Each structure stands twice: as structure tokens, then as C-alpha cells.
Homo-oligomer: A and B are copies of this chain.
């Protein structure tokens, strides 16, 4: 999916919401456990209920991998279901992979060829040759970890070098030499508040994938205040706050309501050029 298509979807939906499919078989409503593939049935219901309010889905690979082969089956079915029924949705594999070149090339093959998703999250620690094998796939995106939403983001990402530049800024600065903003995005946690200003000083035009609104406590208004560009430039994810809003038989209806609430807030926060 091209940058222009993403922006057009944001305008059309009046939303920059990504729904995170962190589907844990231990947390889904018990009536679904009778199905052949409870995780897929849950995802299908969530997707059908929320698709009109969001522009992206983000399956979190850990939650599927933990069920081994059954988990991979549910993941593959979920991705195909979105591709066949909602082809304008951006599909992000939240995988945080990254390894030496020949191994990253295998991960790229997994996500961009075998699963054929639109984007994959990648960890930067191993440097350029661990990231570059994911680049150069037409219409595919690398979403590189920059400044994450969790407490541990302070441990290494904020360490400053002799010139006072924190690691997350160096990651953005160096990696923006490896690819343009038409195939590279960054992960920046919603919990980082004013630091979005710093991010925008290094990456004025890149799209940012922003987790951490909802269960993790980030503020949508603050993210938009400091992070929004004239192309929107934000894809804000909510996982637990939507998919587990109810754990009863009404889970899909409640998820739709939560997604709609966020979409309505987002519509008001869009830049003038994208408002309907």
C-alpha cells in the first residue's frame, strides 16, 4: 500500500485508528471456545465490527506463535480474511524482528511473501544490514522501533551520546539514510508526550505507528498536538481497549462502540486538509 493510499483511507474513514489483534485464547469470550478455531472466529467478529472505523489491523505475532501450529493457522486465516474482505486495510505484522542479513531476509520472506502483509515492525539494535533486507519490497513498509511506549524505553533508548543526542534520535537519523518516508515508518509510544516534538524534528514527514493509547495510558490529544503533520502522519493503535472491552457475548458490539468512539475523536483532530 502506498503512502498516498494510506492518506486517502484516512480521509475517507476520518480515522487513523489501527486495531491491534493481540488475541489471547485465555481472554476471549468462553462461548467461542466451542468453535473449531476460536482465535480466528474472535478476530473475524472483531474485524467485521470495527472495519468501518479503522484503517489498519495489527496482529501481534507473539499471541499466535504461543499456540504453535494452531496459532499460525489462525494468523494466516485472519490475514487472508482481511485481505479478501477489507482490501483497503493496512495489515501490520507486529513482530519486532531483526537479525543478521541472511536471517532478516528470511523474516522478510515470511512477512512480505508468505503472509503478504503490508508492514512489519523491526528492531534496530543490530543496525543497517539487519533492517535493509526488509526494504525494497514495492508497497511494503518497515516500521522501525524508535521510542517505545513501555517503562523500559528509558533503559537504552534515552541514553545520550557525547553530543547529547539520545539513542532513539540516532536511530531515526541513521535509518532515514537507508530508506525514504514512502517505505519507512517509526514506532513511537503514545506515552512519550512532548517527546513527539523531538521525533518530528528528526522525522518531519514519516508516518508514526503509535501504540500505548488506552490500556497503557497515553493521551490521543497529546499525541496529535505534538505529532500530527499535514498528511496526518499518525497511525494510532489500540488493542486491549477495543478487543477486550467486553468479554461477554456482546464483545463485537462493544468493540465496535469503542472503535467508533476513537474514530469520532480522531475525526475532530485531523488536519484541516483531511477533514470532510
Q: Does A174 contact B (CB under 8 A)?
A: yes
Closest chain B CB from A191 CB (angstroms): 11
CA distance A23 to B211 in the complex (A): 35
CA distance A110 to B69 in the complex (A): 11
Q: Given the known inter-chain contacts A129-B150, A171-B156, please indicate yes or no for A69 contacting B66, CB distance below 8 A.
A: no
Q: Does A24 contact B (CB under 8 A)?
A: yes
**Is B98 in contact with A123, judged by CB distance below 8 angstroms?**
yes
**Identical chains bound together, number:** 2
Q: Which of A43-51, A160-168, A228-236 contacts B (4 or more CB under 8 A)?
A: A160-168
Interchain residue pairs with CB less than 8 A apart (6): A69-B76, A96-B123, A98-B123, A100-B149, A123-B123, A156-B174
Q: Does A159 contact B (CB under 8 A)?
A: yes
Q: Which of A2-10, A81-89, A101-109, A135-143 contacts B (4 or more CB under 8 A)?
A: A101-109
Q: Does A179 contact B (CB under 8 A)?
A: no
9 A-B pairs besides A69-B72, A124-B156, A129-B152 with CB distance below 8 A are A62-B107, A65-B110, A68-B115, A123-B126, A127-B151, A127-B152, A128-B151, A156-B174, A162-B164
Q: Nearest 4 pairs between A and B by C-beta?
A: A127-B152, A127-B155, A62-B106, A129-B152
**Is A72 in contact with B68, judged by CB distance below 8 angstroms?**
yes
Closest chain B CB from A197 CB (angstroms): 22
**Is B126 in contact with A153, judged by CB distance below 8 angstroms?**
yes
Q: Does A170 contact B (CB under 8 A)?
A: yes
Q: Does A22 contact B (CB under 8 A)?
A: yes
> Which positions in A face B, CB cutoff 8 Å?
22, 24, 60, 62-63, 65-69, 72-73, 76, 94, 96-104, 106-107, 109-110, 113-115, 123-131, 145, 148-157, 159-162, 164, 167, 170-171, 174, 211, 216
**Is A152 in contact with B128, judged by CB distance below 8 angstroms?**
yes
**Is B162 in contact with A150, judged by CB distance below 8 angstroms?**
no
Q: Given the known inter-chain contacts A161-B162, A170-B159, please indicate yes or no for A106 contacting B63, CB distance below 8 A.
A: yes
Closest chain B CB from A255 CB (angstroms): 18
Q: Which residue of B lies closest to A102 (CB)?
A: B22
CA distance A123 to B145 in the complex (A): 12
**Is A106 in contact with B153, judged by CB distance below 8 angstroms?**
no
Instruction: List, in ascending order, chain B residues with CB within 8 A of A114's CB.
Output: 66-68
Instruction: List, in ascending order, chain B residues with CB within 8 A of A124's CB.
Output: 125, 155-156
